[in-house]
Structure 1
């Protein structure tokens, strides 16, 4: 009976060690796979993000268009600021 009990204990310990060893292997493979995937995704992003436009002329035109739209908004805000300044001066005169 004692021999069977010792044998069962050794088998449990062996199974427990095998379980932790396999857990370590699976975790290492999962981590390595994720790390490899993450690195390749970053490399792909770096290679594909070289700019939006192929020609410098097209990029220049789009930049001009964007700056023009911004200047319209800025000029509109400046007109409102001028009106507020005039209103403030009128109030201070009274």
Structure 2
């Protein structure tokens, strides 16, 4: 599945990585990441490189089904855990 620009932007934010970090991993310019996130057109090869880099970070892009829209998920322990801890009192 080819992910939309919105999904690429959301995945980067979810991973809490900078545009520069994603650009380096994808071997594209930081400007390309900024353009994608502003919904400005970039070449197909560039958007596919960015998607592949996000997948290497642990994001899985899921296609639309008959009953659900497209989605994404991350592997276990990929996203940093923040916030309060629930005690086992």
More strand per residue: 1 or 2? 2
Q: Highest CA radius of gyration, 1 or 2?
A: 1
Larger RCO, structure (CA 8 Å, separation 6 or more) = 2
TM-score, length of structure 1 as denominator length: 0.21
TM-score, length of structure 2 as denominator length: 0.22
